[in-house]
Amino acid sequence: MARLGINIDHVATLRQQRDEGYPSLAEAGRICLENGADQITIHLREDRRHIQDTDVSTIKLVTQKFSKPLNLEMGCASEIVDIAIETKPDWICLVPEKREEKTTEGGLNLLDTHQLEKVAATIKRLREAIPETKISLFVEAREEVLEKCIALGCDAVEIHTGEYARAYLEGNDISKYLEQFAIGHSLIKAQNIGYHAGHGITDKSLAPLVEQNLFEEYNIGHWVICQSLFDSLGNVVKRLKELTPN
C-alpha cells in the first residue's frame, strides 16, 4: 500500500491573503490525518509566501499527536536549514526554489556542479545535526540525475510529476512518462532507496500511477484544497443560512 501525504501549503496561502489568523493550519492537518492521510507535507519557502516559521513546530505537534510523519519541503538556504534542525521533522525533502516562480517548476538540477555541491553540503549538515531525520530529493526521473541522487546517499527520491500531470489533464499521451517512471524505479530500488511522487497530481492522474505500482508515497496538495471547496462549500452555506433565516 502506498502512503498518502497531504500538502497543506495552500491553506496557509488563504490565511496569508488576509492575515486574519484563519483558516487554521493545525485544524487542516488534524482533519487530513483523521481522514486517512499518512503524513502531512509543508514547504517552508525562503519568501514565506504561505508556510511561516512557527507553522513548522505547530504541524510537528499535530503529526506527533497522530503518530504520523511530518515531511518538510525546503531549499538549501542556511536559515531554513536552521529551522529544520530545531524542529526535527521526520522527513526533509530538498527542493529547488526560485523567488519568481508560482510553484516549484521542476526537480533539483544535480547535473549543475554548483547545485550538486550545495545539496551535498546541506545533506552533510542535516545528517550531522539530526541523523534520525530521513532525506529525500525532489528530482526529475532522468537516469543521470537519479545516479547523482544515489551518490549523494539520500533515503528517497521524490519524482517531479508536474509534466506528466499536465499532459494527463490535457488529454495527451502519457506513455513516455510512465515508461520513464518505470526505468527510474528499477534504478532506484536496486539501491534500496525510497521512490516517491509528487506535484500536480489529481484524483484522475493518480489512477495510472497507482496502477503502475511503482511509487511508495504520493504527496498531493493543490488539487486537494481546490476540490475541498466544492465538496464542502454547500455545507458551509447551509450552516450560515440556518443562522440567517428569512
Q: Alpha helix locations (H) across the chain?
A: 9-18, 25-34, 53-65, 78-87, 113-129, 143-152, 162-169, 175-189, 203-212, 222-243
Q: How far is CA 76 from CA 26, 85, 132, 142, in A?
A: 25, 12, 19, 22
- Residue owning grid cell 506513455: 175
pLDDT tens-digit map of 170-198: 999 999 999 999 999 999 999 999 999 99
Rounded average pLDDT over 54-60: 98
pLDDT tens-digit map of 97-151: 765 555 556 899 999 999 999 999 999 999 999 999 999 999 999 999 999 999 9
Between CA 84 and CA 8 the distance in angstroms is 18
pLDDT tens-digit map of 83-97: 999 999 999 999 997
Establish whether 199 is a catalytic residue: yes
Position 43 scores a pLDDT of 97
- List, in order, residues 6 or more apart from 108 with CB less than 8 Å away: 94, 95, 96, 115, 119, 137, 138, 139, 145
Q: What is the pTM of this model?
A: 0.93
Give me the catalytic one of 50, 73, 196, 217: 73
Establish whether 86 is a catalytic residue: no
Cβ distance 59 to 25 under 8 Å?
yes
Between CA 164 and CA 70 the distance in angstroms is 26
Domains recognised in the chain with CATH numbers: 3-240 (3.20.20.70)
Position 246 scores a pLDDT of 67
Establish whether 114 is a catalytic residue: no
Q: Which of 28-32, 39-43, 53-57, 106-110 has the lowest mean pLDDT?
A: 106-110
Give me the catalytic one of 43, 50, 160, 196: 43
Position 75 scores a pLDDT of 96
pLDDT tens-digit map of 8-26: 999 999 999 998 899 999 9
Give me the catalytic one of 10, 160, 196, 199: 199
Rounded average pLDDT over 206-233: 94
Cβ distance 141 to 183 under 8 Å?
yes
Cβ distance 178 to 208 under 8 Å?
yes
